Amino acid sequence: MRAVLILSIIANLVLAALLFTGGGKKSTRGPQTSQVRTQEVVKQIVKPVVSREKFEWSQVENGDYTIYIANLRKIGCPQATIRDIIVADVNALYAKKRSDQADNRDQWWRTSPDMDAPDREADSSAALDRERRQLLSQLLGANWEQPDATSPAGRRGTVGGMNLNGVGQLSPQIEASLTQSWMRYQTARRTARTAADNFKAAQTFRAEAASVLTPAQLEEFMLRNSQTSQTIRQQFSALTLTPDEFRSIYRVRAGIEQQLSAADYTADPAAAARRAAIENSADGMIGQILGPERFAQYKASRGQTVTPQPSVDTAADTRAVAVAEAKAAENNRKVAEIDAAAKAEMQRLISDNTLTAEQKAAAVEGVYDEEKKAVRQILGEEAYKKWEATLGK
């Protein structure tokens, strides 16, 4: 990076020298003469530093920033360019320090993550930024100021009781909206009387968060803050999950939850059986994520045994199973998104006071028909029939 930058600087100086010596007149020299002239200018630029014919960046670069700056001045580097080089170098140095520091703190995948770590990380990051600014002021003077483009925008710390690490920079409006939704959700959880109430509150918050965050931001947020993630930490406490394992298990669990409704959390035995069947369908995918030995350890920690599965004799069959399960999980996610959108639209229509009761009924039925068409297209006829039977559609 530095070598490219210095070559760019030399090229700019060469052009400046050519313009100056040309006096604005049109050159009558041929291409070969111009090339010789350019070489002579380059030699004059690097002559104070380079005693050999070949210029090497190592003759300028130095671990001591004071010497580094002096060497840049010796080759005629403009002050503004020196500032750009040094600021970029120092910013990269402190970005590495912040990254090393953060890797040991925002460990959201652990069974008992340190909930105060994001706040400590924010304080430490601020201290590193003060140190960075002080160093640059010492090297370049008080007027060096420019934004640190390498500052990790994804590391935010705790805001309003939410761990926003990994979410990235949010506009004030989005952050305010997310905070209000989070506070409503926390209130709903505290006042929930049944598991169905708790489920409704979680689904409502997820829908509101999804309306202001990108899918990637939403996943990072839910990995750190959702009840689903907290349940995973508790249920897999006997294992030491890696970040990738935790993320994959979360995706499986979140996809399963999107197939459920509040009705599945009632005291009705049939609803409980339906919910258990849907939740247990995740075992196959989790087994693929953990591998047979660790999956058996997970089941044993919960007082369960592993149901024998048909043997898979070839690597090709193993890959086929993994691909099929991944496709099923993706289809479940798409269906859940369609279902959530349909429910939201139905609720909007029901609340629309400009419509008559007959118009509302017709509009809601139309949304329901469109939802079924979309789900059938995603799942195929056989899986669609199972979807209808499972959810009582």
Distance (Å, whole) CA 256 – CA 329: 8
Residues facing residue 162 across a β-bridge:
159
Three-class SS state of 162: strand
> From the CB of residue 199, how many other CB atoms can be counted at a distance below 10 Å?
20
335 in Cβ contact with 259 (< 8 Å)? yes
pLDDT in tens, 156-177: 556 677 888 888 888 889 989 9
Say if CB 385 and CB 391 are below 8 A apart: no
Number of CB atoms found within 10 A of residue 149's CB? 10
Q: Where are the domains of the chain?
A: 2-104+113-144, 158-328, 329-393
The predicted structure's pLDDT at residue 208: 94
Reading the block at residue 343, the tokens are: 């429910």
Looking at residue 154, its pLDDT comes to 44
Alpha-helical runs (H) found in 49-194: 65-74, 79-103, 117-140, 172-191
Predicted TM-score (pTM) above 0.85: no
Cα–Cα distance between 185 and 203 in angstroms, integer?
Answer: 10
Q: Are 85 and 2 in contact (CB under 8 A)?
A: yes
Q: Are 324 and 364 in contact (CB under 8 A)?
A: no
What DSSP state is assigned to residue 167? Answer: T
Instruction: Give the pLDDT of residue 50.
Output: 44
Element (H, E) at 348: helix 315-351
pLDDT for position 103:
52
Q: Rounded to the nearest 5 degrees, what angle is found at the Cα of 108, between the Cα atoms of 294 and 264?
A: 70
Burial of 263 (0-12, 13-18, 19+ CB in 10 A): middle
In this structure, are residues 124 and 106 in contact, taking their beta carbons and an 8 Å threshold? Answer: no
Q: Which residues of the chain have pLDDT under 50?
A: 18-39, 41-43, 45-53, 147-155, 310-312, 314, 392-393
Whole-number pLDDT of residue 357: 80
Q: Please state, in angstroms and rounded to a whole number, the distance separating the CA atoms of residues 44 and 384.
A: 77
